[in-house]
């Protein structure tokens, strides 16, 4: 499984220093269910994806939609379990712990940068 970190492109501020890239069908299907006690500095990134589900989850999640330029185009806080969410304009989605203490809504339109783990100088 690929890993890396997401930074705000303009400032280099790390948002999630521990990002797991979910590329395979099974990884995407299980998503956050596989990480029930995920720390707040970890997120899952689903590239080439514009829809997710929270079936089988016990807790709410935050969902961030990115366009092809890695700009934040959608923020959905506290998506409850047993829900499907589609973000038509998104080309990838980030899932993280609900209520993450980041001003995500303030960063709508801001560009992110993904750096693979071997190139990311943020501790994992």
Q: How far apart are CA 91 and CA 30, in angstroms?
A: 19
> pTM of the entire structure?
0.88
Architecture field, domain 3-119: Sandwich (2.60)
pLDDT in tens, 81-122: 999 999 999 999 999 988 888 899 999 999 999 999 875 554
**Rg, Å, the chain Cα set:** 13
**Structural tokens at position 48:** 């080439």
CA 59/CA 40 separation, integer angstroms:
14
The pLDDT value given to residue 82: 92
C-alpha separations of 75 from 26, 94, 119 in Å: 25, 10, 27
Domain locations in the chain as residue ranges:
3-119
| End-to-end Cα separation, the chain, in angstroms | 14
How far apart CA 123 and CA 75 sit, in angstroms, is 26
Work out the mean pLDDT of the chain and round it to a whole number: 88
Number of H helices, E strands in the chain: 1, 9
């Amino acid at each position: 499984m690929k890993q890396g970190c997401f930074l705000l492109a303009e400032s280099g501020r790390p948002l999630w220093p521990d990002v797991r890239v979910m590329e395979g069908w099974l990884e995407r299907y299980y998503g956050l269910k596989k990480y029930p006690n995920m720390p707040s500095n970890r997120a899952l990134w689903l590239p080439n994806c514009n829809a997710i589900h929270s079936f089988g989850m016990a807790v709410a999640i935050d969902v961030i939609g990115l366009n092809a330029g890695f700009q934040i185009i959608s923020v959905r806080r506290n998506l409850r379990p047993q829900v499907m969410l589609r973000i038509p304009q998104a080309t990838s989605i980030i899932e993280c712990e609900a209520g993450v203490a980041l001003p995500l809504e303030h960063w709508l339109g801001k560009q992110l940068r993904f750096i693979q783990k071997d190139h990311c100088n943020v501790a994992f």
